[in-house]
Amino acid sequence: MQESLRVQQLAEEQKRKAREQLIAESMAKMPQMIENWRRQQRERREKEKADKERRARLQAEAQERLGYHVDPRSTRFQELLQDLEKQQRKRLKEEKQRQKKEARTAAMAATADQDPADSMAPSS
């Protein structure tokens, strides 16, 4: 009976130590987890702010085109706003493609500059 009681106490002690170790490991990770969470929150707020500014800029442009006394809830205003957003997305996409193309041509030019130096070596 005492043997089974001792075995049970040892098992409980092992469980307690395992739990304490898990807690200690989690507490060691806590500062990094908090920093990651704060960074994610900061990025989310910055993105929301940028979206809000972009939206306000588009609304101002739409109101200039339609006139300052247009209700922002009107269908005409909303259609123009959607059209402006579509144009902006198209411009961004074209800019990205242009940058990729420039990077490709620069990489090809760099490899082309290296190739003639290699081919100048005598092949005898």
Does pLDDT of 120 surpass 80? Answer: no
Number of other residues whose CB lies within 10 A of the CB of residue 84: 16
pLDDT tens by residue, 24-60? 999 999 999 999 999 999 999 999 999 999 888 888 8
Does pLDDT of 67 surpass 90? Answer: no
d(CA 68, CA 89): 25
Whole-prediction pTM value? 0.53
pLDDT number for residue 45? 98
Which amino acid would we find at residue 47? K
Where exactly are the structural domains of the chain? 30-105
pLDDT number for residue 117? 53
d(CA 55, CA 47): 12
The least confident of 4-8, 38-42, 119-123 is 119-123
